[in-house]
Every structure is written in C-alpha cells, then in structure tokens.
Amino acid sequence: MITAEYIKEELKQVKDPEIPTISIVDLGIVTGIDILENNDIHVTLTPTFAGCPALRLMEDMVVDHLSTYPELGKITVETSFETTWTTDLITEEGHAAIKKHGLAPPIRNCSNISMEVLEATNCPYCDSDNTTMKSPFGPTLCRSLHYCNNCKQAFEGFKPV
Amino acid sequence: MNNITALKELLYKIADDQLIIGHRNSEWTGLGPILEEDIAFSSMAQDKIGQSEHIYNLLHQLGEAEPDTVAFTRNAEQFHNSQLTELPIGEYDFSLLRHFLFDFAEYIRFGNLRESSYQPLAQVAKKFYGEIKYHTMHANTWIYQLGTGTQESHDRMQNVLDNYWNTALGMFEEGPAEELLISEGIFMGEKALRGKWLEVVMPLLEKSSLKVPEADTWEPIVGGRTGKHTEHLQPLLSEMTEVYAIDPSADW
C-alpha cells in the first residue's frame, strides 16, 4: 500500500535546483501529500520566496520524478501559501546539506531578524563567528553575502526568513 | 460597492505598485554604483515582480484575466499604482529614498494584511512580510549612512526628500471603498496606514539627520490610484510589454 510517508521518502531524491545537496523535503517545502483513488498522488508545495524562479521547475521535477514509479497513478502538484514557509522548516539534515554546499545555514528562530543577527553568521568553512556581512542580498533571493575575517574567505549564507 | 469590487480595487493597487516599482528597480541591473547594490536592486526587483504575480493570481481567482494578460495588455490609465513608483530611477539618491519611503509603507501594509479577513490575501501577506523586512533593512542602512555621511551626501538626500515628500504621501490616496474594507476586516485603510507609516519613518529620518518638510506644506500628489499618471508610466509600459506585443504566445 502506498503511504504519504513512502512518497515523502522518495521525494528526498528531488533536489533543490539551486542548492543540489538539499532535497525539497529537507528544505521543508513539501507541505502536503495526498494519496487519492487509483494511487493518484497530489503533492502540495509552499514557495520559499514569492519571486523564486525555481518554483515552477520544482513542481515539474516532482511530477517527473514520481511519474517514474509504475505503481503510482496520475501525479499532480500545486503551490499554496496556506503553510507559510520559513527557514525554521529546514530539517537538521537540511542544515548539513546547505553547509556541504559551502553556504552558512540560516539561524534558527528567525522571526526577529536584524542586521545584527545577520552579522552573527558563522563561517561555513572554519566555523568562526568573526565574520562581516557584506550585503543582505546575494546571487539568489535566498542568499546573503559575507566575509570571514578568520580564514579570509568570502562566503554566502542562506538567509533566515 | 460590494465586497468583491472593493477587494479587487485593493488588490489591483497593491499588485500594480509591486509590478511598477519592481520594473524600476530592475533598471539598476548592471548599473548599480557598486556590485552589492546592483545585486540588491536586482534581487528586490525579483521579489516585487514575483509578489505582484501572486496578487494578480488572487485577482484571477476573483474572475479577472490571467496574470500575464493583466500585466501586459493594459494602458497607463488602467494602472492603479501610485505615482511615486513610476518615476524614472534618476540618480541613486532618489532611487534610495523612494525605496525607503515605499518599502516601509509596504512593510506596514502587508503587516496589517496578515490579519486580513480575506484568507488568501492574509496567506500571501505573511510570506511577503518576511521578504520585505530585508528591503526595509537595506533601505534604512543606506538612508542612515548617507544622511549622516558627508555634507554632500546629506544635502543630496535632504534635497530629494524635500522634492518628493508630497509624491510619497500620494501612496495613501484613499479609494472609494475604504469604509467597507475596514468594516469587513479586510484592510485597515489608507488613513490608518499613513499614520502608522509616519510613526515609523519620521524617527528614522530624524535619526539620519534628515528633516521632513513642515506639516503645513504637505499636499499629497494623488491620482495614481484612479489611473492619472505622470508622462513617465506609458514609456515604462511600452518597454516592459515590448516582447509580449511582438508575440503574445512567446514563452521563455
């Protein structure tokens, strides 16, 4: 019998197109899995950032991936704001995956971010807290720019939202 | 006027503000005074345009045309954005000040809309609120640095504040359904928004050594919400819709 848990486990193989070390499950954007009649599957995703260009791509990736399972019926995906995504939804495994990609994971409990909080980002290479934030905006909507004064390395952080 | 008409009116002005300021922000791509600022304005453009699409989607659910059709096929007089958002990017001093005045208004607007009785709007407002926080942090950092920087940086910021304060006040132009929106718990209304905005931006400007014009000189420049625009909006729309106009079915 197909369960939501099973689908969730399989969706761990679908990675974020911009940070290929993290799965969409660990990113925390899979907010609903419904098993329907004839094993049709309906997956609900919540957007990380409203303007994220990978949104549609990730919808397609979910459909493409689950369509390779012969035991599953029709796959549908919708994006809904019903669950508001925050970086607190990223799992511990997700934090490790972000770090593996060379990004500083977002701080936890980020409901009250400020420039001071962002300044306190630890270097993903040497773990030093002696870092400087260069800009709250980086090469993608979810990243900020930092510099580590300890290992003299520029790095990017995953922005807490 | 019924609830749906009032709601559409509110959604159109929010979405149009976002789309137009987003397009203006994108004009700094490749031209920012330093790399980080180039990236900042480009990122904010992406946020705003993405947010506008979600609001156009809410309008679509209420029976309006598809987001692309709504964004790309209207003329200037059919747009409900405030005039502040459509002005050319000018020098960096103007773009930064507009960014500061506009984004704090948005931040407070979406902060209030998180509690809206219209659930689909409350849901997107929660999302946007977290994103716009970064915009206001960025704006405030620069306004403070330039306001308290050199004599020249201070004077330039003061000059644009004096020249565009009344245009900024035009953001809070009231619509025909304010009372209905308030009584239905959809939105707190423009008057309340303006009050809260003043409470936030006035101390920040003061801290940045910038002086808001005397209250008896305030004359909001309105009209944007009812389709009365400056000569700058139509050229922006013509440029923005150029590809769509050549081939409405183009996909990219």
Residue spans of the domains in chain B: they are 3-246
By CB neighbour count within 10 A (0-12 exposed, 13-18 middle, 19+ buried), where does B237 fall? Answer: buried
Q: Which residue has the tokens 């910021």?
A: B157
CB contact under 8 A, A138 and B123: no
- In this structure, the dihedral spanned by the alpha carbons of residues B130, B134, B137 and B140, taken in order and rounded to 10 degrees, is -110
Determine the pLDDT at residue B210: 98
From residue B192, how far is each of A4, A159, B49, B57 by CA, in Å? 46, 32, 26, 27
pLDDT of B1 above 80: no
- Return the CATH number of A4-87, one of 3.30.300.30, 2.60.40.420, 3.30.300.130, 3.40.50.2300: 3.30.300.130
Phi, psi (deg, nearest 5) at residue B34: -140, 160
CA B105 to chain centre: 8
Compute the count of residue pairs across chains A and B with CB atoms less than 8 Å apart: 71
Produce one character per residue of A84-109: b if its CB has 16 or more CB atoms within 10 Å, e if not. Answer: bbbbebbeeebbebbbebebbbbbee
Q: Is B70 exposed, middle or buried (0-12, 13-18, 19+ CB in 10 A)?
A: buried
Lowest mean pLDDT among A106-120, B78-92, B93-107, B228-242: A106-120
Name the residue in chain B with its Cα closest to that of A47.
B127
E-strand stretches of chain B: none
3-state secondary structure labels for all residues of A60-112: HHHHHHHCCCCCCCCEEEEECCCCCCCHHHCCHHHHHHHHHCCEECCCCCCCC
Residue B251 has pLDDT above 80, yes or no: no
In angstroms, the CA B51 to CA B230 distance is 24
Mark residue A146 as left, alpha or beta (left: phi above 0; alpha: psi -120 to 50; beta: remaining): beta
Ordered by start, the domain boundaries in chain A are 4-87, 103-158
B96 in Cβ contact with B142 (< 8 Å)? yes
A107 CA: distance to closest CA in chain B (Å): 15
Q: Is B50–A51 a contact, with Cβ atoms under 8 angstroms apart?
A: yes
Closest CA of chain A from B46, distance in Å: 6
Q: Which conformational region is residue B71 in: left (phi greater than 0), alpha (psi within -120 to 50 degrees), or beta?
A: alpha
| Alpha carbon distance B123, B128 (integer Å) | 9
Contact A49 B47 (CB under 8 A): yes
Does A115 contact chain B (CB < 8 Å)? yes
- Dig out the tokens for A65 from the structure: 């991936």
Residue type, A46: T
CATH code for B3-246? 1.20.1260.10
| Minimal CA separation from B252 to chain A, in Å | 12
Question: What does pLDDT average to in each consecutive run of 10 residues of chain A (161 residues)?
Answer: 95 94 97 96 94 90 96 95 93 96 88 78 93 89 92 93 87
| B137-165 pLDDT, tens digit each | 999 999 999 999 999 999 999 999 999 99
Partners of A86 on chain B (C-beta within 8 Å) are 130
Q: Is A136 on the interface with B (CB under 8 A)?
A: yes
User: Which helix (H) or strand (E) is A36 found in, with range?
Assistant: none
**Shortest Cα distance, chain A CAs vs residue B215, angstroms:** 31
pLDDT of B157 reads 98
pLDDT value, residue B49: 96
- How far apart are the C-alpha atoms of A80 and B120, rounded to whole Å? 10
CB-CB neighbors (< 8 A) of A47 in chain B = 127
| pLDDT at site A115 | 79
Residues of B whose CB is below 8 A from A53 = 46
Q: What is the pLDDT of residue A52?
A: 85
Asked if B127 has any chain A CB less than 8 Å from its own CB, the reply is: yes
pLDDT of residue A95: 96
Q: What share of chain B is helix, strand, coil (3-state, %, to 5)?
A: 70, 0, 30
**Residue B127: pLDDT over 90:** yes
Burial of B91 (0-12, 13-18, 19+ CB in 10 A): exposed
The amino acid at residue B85 is: T
pLDDT at A140: 86
